Amino acid sequence: MDFTTAAALDEGLELDDRADEARKDFFVVKDGECFAGTHLLVDIREAEYLDDITHIDRTLRKCVEAAGATLLSIDLHNFEPNGGVSGVAILAESHISIHSWPEYGYAALDVFMCGDAMPQKAVPVLKKAFNAGRVDVQEVRRGKGMVG
Amino acid sequence: MDFTTAAALDEGLELDDRADEARKDFFVVKDGECFAGTHLLVDIREAEYLDDITHIDRTLRKCVEAAGATLLSIDLHNFEPNGGVSGVAILAESHISIHSWPEYGYAALDVFMCGDAMPQKAVPVLKKAFNAGRVDVQEVRRGKGMVG
């Protein structure tokens, strides 16, 4: 496993022992660096179904599942006249957001997760669901130096 | 004004003429570059009131107003036992999100806005509202090359 958590390490707990906690606010320890969460900025292009709010809702739920995260709420808005969708899935581990411009086959997504969730697992789900010709991912580590 | 919009320029419309549109999906043209929106990754440290959901709600609304954006919905969640708050304000121009770790005086915010909204105006609002000792802002231009 690439990800472990500072909280779990500090307290000598197994991750499974903490699965019932409402907030998954573990820190991520990766490559010797401790930070609050991994934030992926995902831009998809040459993509389809970006005006289909039902498909987008279903896809965000699949991303949450693939990443091993916990969905708290989801709120999507459909815009006229272009059919674009803006919305966010709020997670126990942070959030996934989407803003789509279907007329350009483009959407800007964020996949931000702390703890032992695996945001990278959402990327192939998005590529497949929107039949995207191009996917660009920029990874930002949030909250570096927050502890220690 | 630093920001103008490709849609407005293309069609020779005044911005005010389009104020009634539900979706503010103009592109941003700045420094000769055309892109979908400005995404600020804002990390605040040595900050206070990060467990006060009412204060956070009020502050996000102030940010929306300062940026000249339009609020569509706001959804905040309070976590136990640390009192952290996760939530998102969805805007006609994209979103503002917050995830706070009050026990570390830290919060990760995103201020993502397209069109002629001014996300930078939210930064001093956040610094003051949370009495933050340190504010780090990373600006990412989303959707570069989306058109033209």
- pLDDT tens sequence across B85-99: 999 999 999 999 999
Structure confidence at residue A31 as a pLDDT band (50, 70, 90): confident
List CB contacts of B100: < 8 A, sequence separation 6 or more: B50, B51, B56, B84, B85, B86, B106, B107, B108
Please give the average per-residue pLDDT across A129-138, as a whole number.
Answer: 97
Q: What is the pLDDT of residue B18?
A: 37
Q: What is the pLDDT of residue A35?
A: 85
Cβ-defined contact of A147 to B82 (cutoff 8 Å): no
Q: What is the pLDDT of residue B34?
A: 80
Q: What is the pLDDT of residue A34?
A: 80
Q: Cα separation of A75 and B119, whole Å?
A: 22
Structure confidence at residue A26 as a pLDDT band (50, 70, 90): low
Please check the confidence at residue A89 and state whether its pLDDT lies above 50.
Answer: yes
Residues of chain B with confidence (pLDDT) below 70:
1-26, 147-148
Q: Cα separation of A96 and A108, whole Å?
A: 11
A146 pairs with which residues across the strands?
Answer: none
Which residues of B are catalytically annotated? 94, 99, 114
Give SS3 for B47. Answer: coil
Please give the average per-residue pLDDT across A61-81, as a whole number.
Answer: 95
Q: Say if CB B50 and CB B87 are below 8 A apart.
A: no
Q: What is the pLDDT of residue B21?
A: 40
Q: What is the pLDDT of residue B31?
A: 77
B5 pairs with which residues across the strands?
Answer: B28
Burial zone of B103 (CB within 10 Å; 0-12 exposed, 13-18 middle, 19+ buried): middle
- Residue A139 to chain B, least CA–CA distance (Å): 12
Q: What is the pLDDT of residue B11?
A: 37
Q: Nearest residue of B to residue A25 by CA position?
A: B101
- Residue A2 to chain B, least CA–CA distance (Å): 23
Which residues of A are catalytically annotated? 94, 99, 114
Mean pLDDT (chain A, rounded): 83
Q: What is the pLDDT of residue B147?
A: 60
Please give the average per-residue pLDDT across A132-146, as a whole number.
Answer: 92
Nearest by CB: B36 against A36, A101, A138: A101
Q: Cα separation of B92 and B138, whole Å?
A: 22
Structure confidence at residue A32 as a pLDDT band (50, 70, 90): confident
Nearest by CB: B94 against A86, A90, A138: A86
Q: Nearest residue of B to residue A106 by CA position?
A: B146
- Residue B128 to chain A, least CA–CA distance (Å): 20
Instruction: State the DSSP string of A22-82.
Output: S---PPEEETTEEESEEEEEEEEES---TT-HHHHHHHHHHHHHHHT--EEEEEEEE-TTT
Structure confidence at residue A61 as a pLDDT band (50, 70, 90): very high
